[in-house]
Structure 1
Amino acid sequence: MESDLPPLHGATYDSLTAEIKGNGEKFDLGRRLAGYGRRPLTILGAEKGLGAEARTVAADAQGANPNARLMVWPTDHSFSDKRIALADALVRFLSGVAPTIR
């Protein structure tokens, strides 16, 4: 299957894979989220996508921030049947952390 997007200049599968493998700490999402401390954080995952990874990352984040929230929904990676609910969750999260604009 051919992609409709051009590659990043000079990037190849091998070069990107090597960068990730060679910089494990840099690409460790759970570790990076734990570094957010007690900032508001909600992690949304898709059960049919990366649900297990979302749970792992959330556990790391919750180690530093017990208020970090995790939601894993019974849907696919693109949230194709939950997009309105996804938008609603985002708006609710933002309304809880951002001042009301009037």
Structure 2
Amino acid sequence: VGVDRLVNEQVFTAAYPLHESLSLRQILYAYWAQWSCWRRYQPLDHIREYFGEKIALYFAWLGFYTGWLLPASVVGTVIFLIGFWLVATDRSF
């Protein structure tokens, strides 16, 4: 099925994989691309080797931005809950 069949039928003379380093792909999958790995740091060097400079810079920026948004979201959630509690316990009417 697919490329292997075409090579066997001599439609193609050869087939080469798009990504040569399968071990790097496996490292990224095992240590970064799973939901259970959310607490680990991003392997930016591996991302740079596999995807390129621009994609690695994007993920570095995304990690930095998310890290700075987390405290603001916690403060906003606490203020929202306090406001909700104040409205629920208001006895002015």
TM-score per shorter chain, which class?
Answer: under 0.3
More helix by share: 2
Which one scores higher on RCO, CA 8 angstroms, separation ≥ 6? 1
State the TM-score, normalizing by the size of structure 2: 0.26
State the TM-score, normalizing by the size of structure 1: 0.25
